[in-house]
Amino acid sequence: MPNYRLVALDLDGTTLLDNKQISAETQYWIKKAGEAGGGVSFATGRGDRNTADYRTQLGLTSPMVLLNGAEIWKAPGVLLERRFMESSDIERLYHLAIESNSWFWGYTAEGYIRKDEWTKALLKEKWTKFGLSNEDISVINELKTVITNLGLEVTQSEPKSLEISVKGATKEYGIRKVCNLLDFDMSQVLAIGDGFNDLSLLKAAGLGIAMGNADPAIKEIADAVTDTNENNGVAQAICRYIFEMEYHHK
């Protein structure tokens, strides 16, 4: 792989189509990048259980950055690092969600939890990520300010939701860990994403590429902009920037 030794890929809105599948075109170019001798890592807000099928489908055994950097997996089934929030923070987030009439979800060491599955016993679990969503953007903006002031890491993959983890858990943090593990430098990373939770990674990578469907603010800071997820933007970016070829449908 010329210049770039690691491809860091967001999933939703980036690698995945709107129907949550991976197009044949994108599969082909991701596998080709892996076969060329570089690494391909997910950098996603998803957890292990709902990324495993994609990893298997693509034949990837490389390190993965999950839950926006709260979990880093060295290989399938091999956890390198997991960062937890304090139980007092989870209790506060739960009450903020209820008081604001927001939907919420999250990840514990045991798996994925949704609002309709909540019990008080869950306060004793170890939480890696807590998410809130609300149709009222003004409510989301108010919650973001309050939660940021709690000293937690707050980011967004879409305007109507918040994703919260322990301070410092970001996709950039996770990919830096992966680089250390593989003896790569961040300048050798090509990162592709569409959301605000990709922002710091796109800025830190050697080449940060925004999807065509990304928010204008993401495109503004990116080094380059590719096509949309529905038009094989990831495939086009890998073809152009990894293999330095003009993209054609396979």
Phi, then psi, of 246 in degrees rounded to 5: -75, 135
Comparing C-alpha atoms, which of 148, 157, 169 is closest to residue 82? 169
Q: In b/e form, how buried is each residue of 112-130, taking b as 16+ CB within 10 angstroms?
A: ebebeebeeebeebebbbb
Give the CA count within 13 Å in the CB-facing half-sphere of 66: 31
Cβ-based neighbour number of residue 72 at 10 Å: 24
Residues 2 and 136 sit within 8 Å (Cβ to Cβ): no
Residue 10 known to be catalytic: yes
Query: What is d(CA 226, CA 232) in angstroms, rounded to the nearest whole number?
Result: 9
Catalytic one of 10, 12, 48, 89: 10
Which residues are marked as active site? 10
